[in-house]
Amino acid sequence: MTTLRDALRRLVAELRAEGIDSPEVDARLLTGAAAGLTAQDMVLEPDRMLLPAQLARLEVYRQRRLAHEPVSRILGRREFYGRTFEIDGSTLDPRPDTETLVETVLEIADKAGWRERPIRILDVGTGSGAILVTLLAELPLASGIATDVSDQALEMAARNAERLGVADRATFALRRSLEGVEGSFDLLVSNPPYIPSGEIELLSREVKDFDPRAALDGGDDGLAIYRELARGLVRAVPAGWAVVEIGAGQARDVVDIFKAAAGGRLKTVVIRRDLGNHERCVAIETHKVLMTH
């Protein structure tokens, strides 16, 4: 028989030998999930004997993690902004860096009074729905539309919206960029694909082998979707905000793309950094141009 302590120690050693980041954390999460134990159980009962079925489940998890599949994908869930989201192979794995976008929006919401009045949100390329669902949960008077090019991703996002209690204020539509999206919005948000096509193979195995290619590939220079969004921005958001996640070194290019497309309709541009001090999102305010005679 194998104890919890022994199984955990062995898995940590194997993950470390494979060069996996945070082997202790990963081993504890996988072992706990395989055994159906809480974090408290694992601390209090290190000498608990694992049953054959638990060991078999852990062996499957072990092999998948040693192949560099992320823990979140193995377990089918990811924590994001204090909530648990289901994920699968059709969706980008939402990461803590993207919480910078959410925090930026909520700062704007406080200044614009969005907590006290209904607003409409458009989330382009929603994936698991992490951004839209989080914003609807934080802004209880808001409603939103989420788009994606994957039916399977939209189904996952809708399940997350239902489970987290915001489904009555969310709509999901199969669309690319702003194509076929009607009406106007107070806020556009997006974490689009922004990796240059030629750089995808340079990413970690956890990303390039397990995130869907469509959620990574931003075209030759990584900026293709920003150009698409910029072309329709002032129609979709005539007087409001667009907040988009960006990749390393892309902030100025993204701002220039939106400025060129929107002309004099841009009122404010803000670039925000994440906790690692990397430029992570661009926030752009649009406004209506008053006609003069």
pLDDT of residue 291: 46
Q: For 81-286, which CATH superfamily applies?
A: Vaccinia Virus protein VP39 (3.40.50.150)
Please state, in angstroms and rounded to a whole number, the distance separating the CA atoms of residues 14 and 69.
Answer: 14
Please state, in angstroms and rounded to a whole number, the distance separating the CA atoms of residues 21 and 29.
Answer: 13
pLDDT of residue 293: 40
Question: Count of CB atoms within 10 A of residue 82's CB?
Answer: 9
- The tokens describing 130, both together, are 């992490």
In which residue ranges of the chain is CATH 1.10.8.10 found? Answer: 2-67
pLDDT tens series, the chain, 293 aa:
799 999 999 999 999 999 998 999 999 999 999 999 988 988 899 999 999 999 999 999 999 999 999 999 999 999 999 999 999 999 999 999 999 999 999 999 999 999 999 999 999 999 999 999 999 999 999 999 999 999 999 999 999 999 999 999 999 999 988 988 999 999 999 999 999 999 999 999 999 999 999 999 999 999 999 999 999 999 999 999 999 999 999 999 999 999 998 877 888 899 999 999 999 999 999 987 554 44
pLDDT of residue 289: 57
Q: What is the DSSP string of 95-107?
A: -GGGHHHHHHHHH
In which residue ranges of the chain is CATH 3.40.50.150 found? Answer: 81-286
For residue 175, give Cα distances in angstroms to 125, 181, 287.
8, 8, 25
pLDDT of residue 261: 87
* Residue 84 neighbours by CB under 8 Å, 6+ apart: 77, 78
pLDDT of residue 292: 43
Radius of gyration of the chain (CA): 21
Q: For 2-67, which CATH superfamily applies?
A: Ubiquitin-associated (UBA) domain (1.10.8.10)
Kindly report the length of the chain.
293
Question: Count of CB atoms within 10 A of residue 218's CB?
Answer: 21
